[in-house]
Structure 1
């Protein structure tokens, strides 16, 4: 199975620094095959004959043991991410300006009451849709200006989340 691992909160420098070259080297000690990373924001694409939960645990344990990092790891089948792109409810807007489109990947499905509450913040300019454990977020004001950050969604929905922009998400299905 081809998987994509999304690491929450790793950076090129500063807090939670994780050099991707060192991560790729460390991944060689795992049962994963053909592991590669994409850009410095914590994206791993790999093959494994394991279930998602086991893959998440292996990566989390590796990050703690090798890099002293305790960061959330969300793993999805690569084909599932491809499907997410196919059903993007904001595809027309995305085609017009993909820099305003991102996807939130949650560790679990938020409870309906919290989804209903957070949906009241959706506007024409900052609009989002939550389907199961994925959020489609078209942020017309730009991600640097919105108050609806990843941390904001996590707090409101009671989930762990990591966001990826449209271009990164698209690239992760092609690797």
Structure 2
């Protein structure tokens, strides 16, 4: 037996290269948690968003220039609506830049409501102020500009007072269009375009069956007519 035999010898465990030794190795970096404080559920940092208003801002509708056309007023002694009193009532109702033209119910004003809403508001106002049930049709200045630009009978309509445009509150029913075409007598001419009807009455409107059909209440939709001179004047007024 050799000299070292029999001595108490504590064996050292063999190091496995694939296993980290116990304890930290010299020079190893310590991991630091940089995530900061935990966020509450919902993803909003604690205290974040305090004092912020959750109300949605609703922008006002932009002002537009609109043309208000009253149907069938100031014809003889029937449906009398003084224009000065109408202007005053419209201004008190909140409409701006109110102008009137002639006595046949032509108004140019500014409003932040849609044309259909303006029409209903004016009808209620006329009922309250004058005690009259009057139909109202409204167009924007852009609408009226398109009407004048379209001018489908401009090459044949030599007298603007005999050239009429009927403004409709909605689309003309097909059956009504057929009735108008049946009432037409040459050399009269008729063009239906969207919510407008252009009519040329070279012999005047007094004995025209077509005009009688246009001016009556048988179209199936509210309508009111203006001659070409008035139409162009109203468009001119929208630029003031």
Task: Tell me, yes or no, whether TM beats 0.5.
Answer: yes
Equivalence for 1:90: 153
Moved over 6 A (4+): none
More strand by share: 1
Equivalence for 2:92: 29
Structure 1 residue 155: deviation in Å? Answer: 4.3
Equivalence for 1:52: 115
Equivalence for 1:124: 186
Post-superposition Cα deviations, 1:73-102, rounded to whole Å, max 9, x if no partner, equal 0001122112111111111123x3222201
Post-superposition Cα deviations, 1:22-68, rounded to whole Å, max 9, x if no partner, equal 11111111221101111000011001111112101111011000011
RMSD across aligned C-alpha pairs, in angstroms? 1.6
Post-superposition Cα deviations, 1:117-152, rounded to whole Å, max 9, x if no partner, equal 4323334322111112110010111022312235x2
SS in 2 for 1:34: strand
- Residue 79 of structure 1 contacts residue 173 of structure 1 at CA under 8 Å; is this kept in 2? no
Larger relative contact order, structure 1 or 2 (CA cutoff 8 Å, min sep 6): 1
With the length of structure 2 as denominator, give the TM-score of the two structures. Answer: 0.68
SS in 1 for 2:88: helix
Equivalence for 1:101: 163
Unaligned runs of 5+ in 1: none
